[in-house]
Amino acid sequence: MIEVKNLTKYYNFAERPAVKNVNFLAREGEVTVLLGPNGAGKSTTIKSIVNLLNYQGEVNICGYPNHSLEAKRSFGYVPEVPILYDLLTVEESINFIGKAYRLQNYRETAEAYLELFELTAQKDKLSKELSKGMRQKLSMLLALLIQPKALLVDEPMVGLDPASIEAVLQLFIRLKEQGTSVLISTHIIDVVNDIWDCAYIMKQGEIVREIHRGEEGSETLKQIFFETTAEGKA
Ligand SMILES: Nc1ncnc2c1ncn2[C@@H]1O[C@H](COP(=O)(O)OP(=O)(O)OP(=O)(O)O)[C@@H](O)[C@H]1O
């Protein structure tokens, strides 16, 4: 479970907050999506949750304050732009995370994800030698290596080919079946159309709509998104 309470973020010298009084839950066994147009505050929210930014408010992950060791051991984060160790190979990057987190039996987990992401043949390549999509998949693999109870993914499908997109969608479904809280930020609704359980629509730094699967009526999530974020709407 990821619990966000009264999250507000002002960047240095900004007059307006990038995120204003945001409250939401990403429940266990569900895919929660943060939707919003460019600049709505999605990445700022995710970066605040994983403690990469200073902010006002309270964030708990699996019941622990997000800055605690317990929380840090519980979540995986996949940023929009992968942050990798360029001079480590894929194999070395896996071993680095395995040792840093003191993981038991991480090799088995790694092999399964290397296969899923079709990275097995790239094991000896340096991270800097990988293609954009391969870097994205390695970033996801490293976040999954710790078998996180909460997974936060910022724009998961950017740069991925159709087979990889399908593999990642199936993976998200499997993770939620295993009870993981999956939080995805995206402005591409088609990507999450089949897997979302709860959606929070952001506009100008605020959550302007919360919707649970089944509440859409005859409308699609995309229609609700466009109605909610249309110019002139509060
Ligand atoms: N490092 C920064 N310094 C100052 N302002 C920032 C910084 N990063 C983001 N912002 C501002 O914060 C607001 C929210 O940006 P954010 O990146 O969180 O939006 P987003 O919803 O993730 O957008 P996108 O879909 O384009 O990735 C925007 O007004 C943006 O200009």
One domain, residues 50 and 102: no
87 by DSSP, 3-state: which? coil
Test site for ligand 1: of 43, 53, 183, most ligand atoms within 8 A of the Cβ = 43
CA distance 200 to 6: 15
Q: Report which protein residue has its CA nearest ligand 1's atom 9.
A: 44
**Which of ligand 1's atoms lies nearest the C-alpha of 43?**
22
Boundary-marking domain end, from 125, 147, 169:
147
Q: Report which protein residue has its CA nearest ligand 1's atom 16.
A: 41
One domain, residues 117 and 225: no
Distance 82 CA to ligand 1 centre (A): 17
Give this complex's ipTM: 0.98
Expressed as residue numbers, the domain containing 115 is: 85-147
CA distance 81 to 220: 29
Domain containing residue 188: CATH number: 3.40.50.300
Asked whether residue 234 is assigned to any structural domain, the reply reads: no
One domain, residues 134 and 40: no
Asked whether residue 61 is assigned to any structural domain, the reply reads: yes
Asked whether residue 121 is assigned to any structural domain, the reply reads: yes
Q: Shortest CA distance to 27 belongs to which of 110, 149, 123?
A: 149
Asked whether residue 80 is assigned to any structural domain, the reply reads: no
Distance 96 CA to ligand 1 centre (A): 31
One domain, residues 169 and 202: yes
Composition of the chain by helix, strand, coil, percent to 5: 35, 25, 40
Distance 62 CA to ligand 1 centre (A): 27
Q: Report which protein residue has its CA nearest ligand 1's atom 2.
A: 11
Q: Would you state the pLDDT for residue 217?
A: 87
One domain, residues 35 and 105: no
Q: Report which protein residue has its CA nearest ligand 1's atom 11.
A: 18
Low-confidence ranges of the chain (pLDDT < 70): 232-234
Q: Would you state the pLDDT for residue 233?
A: 58
Identify whether the C-beta of residue 205 lies closer than 8 Å to the C-beta of residue 36: no
Asked whether residue 79 is assigned to any structural domain, the reply reads: no
One domain, residues 53 and 105: no
**Which of ligand 1's atoms lies nearest the C-alpha of 40?**
21
CA distance 35 to 62: 23
Q: Would you state the pLDDT for residue 101?
A: 92
Residues in contact with ligand 1 (CB, 6 Å cut-off): 11, 14, 18, 36, 38-44, 187
Asked whether residue 93 is assigned to any structural domain, the reply reads: yes
One domain, residues 55 and 94: no
Q: Would you state the pLDDT for residue 159?
A: 85
Boundary-marking domain end, from 147, 170, 191:
147
Boundary-marking domain end, from 106, 122, 147:
147
Total domains, the chain? 2
Test site for ligand 1: of 10, 11, 48, most ligand atoms within 8 A of the Cβ = 11
Asked whether residue 34 is assigned to any structural domain, the reply reads: yes
Mean pLDDT over each residue of the chain, to the nearest integer: 94
221 token code pair: 């999530």
Q: Would you state the pLDDT for residue 232?
A: 61
One domain, residues 142 and 153: no
